[in-house]
């Protein structure tokens, strides 16, 4: 199995898959941060020891928390397909330069997407970075299905 890491395409996949997965995971602590600073929780047990009035206030949703959650959800919907399709793509032995182009474009697009979402950059910045990420994954899927279609 060690031989996988002697394959440069697989090493590049490993690196970029780890990077975008870590980026996605960081949305979790970021949600916690916004929940605490904006005092907006979803679970009764998270606001114990407060007065009933304060409790009710803390159980309301806050626009900033909802925004981070939408960004996290968008990551789940886009980063995970990239990780899946990317692994299948790496297994089709593509050119290293072509693989790196796909991986770098996707990682860049998703990091920019998060910045555009959280910092509320004007549209169409968020829409374009989302589309670029999708196109990269579709391009890899096209390569996978032409190399290994077996229905």
CA-to-CA separations, 137 to 101, 121, 129, 144, 147, in angstroms, rounded: 12, 24, 13, 10, 15
Length of the chain: 151
Q: How far is Cα of residue 92 from the mean position of the Cα atoms in its chain?
A: 24
Q: In whole angstroms, how close is the CB of 68 to its own copies at the nearest point?
A: 12
Q: In whole angstroms, how close is the CB of 132 to its own copies at the nearest point?
A: 13
Tokens representing 72 are: 């996290």
Q: In whole angstroms, how close is the CB of 47 to its own copies at the nearest point?
A: 9
Residue 38: what are its φ and ψ, rounded to 5°? Answer: -95, 0
Q: In whole angstroms, how close is the CB of 53 to its own copies at the nearest point?
A: 19
Q: How far apart are CA 143 and CA 85, in angstroms?
A: 10
Residue 53 or 149 having the CB closest to its own copies: 149
Residue 95 or 151 having the CB closest to its own copies: 151
What SS3 class is residue 43?
A: coil
Q: In whole angstroms, how close is the CB of 35 to its own copies at the nearest point?
A: 11
Residue 112 or 130 having the CB closest to its own copies: 130
Q: How far apart are CA 48 and CA 28, in angstroms?
A: 22
Interface ranges with its own copies (CB under 8 A)? 1-5, 7-8, 10-12, 14-15, 17-19, 21-22, 24-25, 27-29, 42-46, 48, 66-67, 70, 72, 76-78, 80-81, 83-85, 88, 90-93, 120-123, 126, 130, 134, 137-138, 141, 144-145, 147-151
């Amino acid at each position: 199995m060690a031989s996988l890491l002697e394959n440069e395409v697989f090493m590049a996949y490993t690196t970029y898959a780890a990077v975008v997965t870590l980026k996605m995971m960081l949305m979790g602590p970021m949600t916690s941060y916004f929940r605490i600073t904006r005092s907006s929780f979803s679970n009764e047990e998270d606001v114990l020891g407060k007065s009933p009035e304060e409790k009710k206030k803390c159980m309301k949703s806050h626009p900033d928390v909802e925004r981070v959650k939408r960004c996290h959800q968008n990551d789940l919907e886009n980063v995970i397909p990239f990780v899946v399709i990317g692994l299948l793509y790496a297994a089709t032995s593509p050119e290293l330069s072509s693989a790196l182009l796909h991986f770098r474009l996707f990682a860049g697009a998703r990091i920019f997407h998060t910045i555009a979402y959280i910092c509320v950059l004007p549209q169409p910045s968020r829409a374009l970075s989302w589309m670029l990420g999708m196109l990269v994954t579709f391009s890899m899927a096209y390569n996978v299905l032409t190399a290994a279609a077996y229905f």
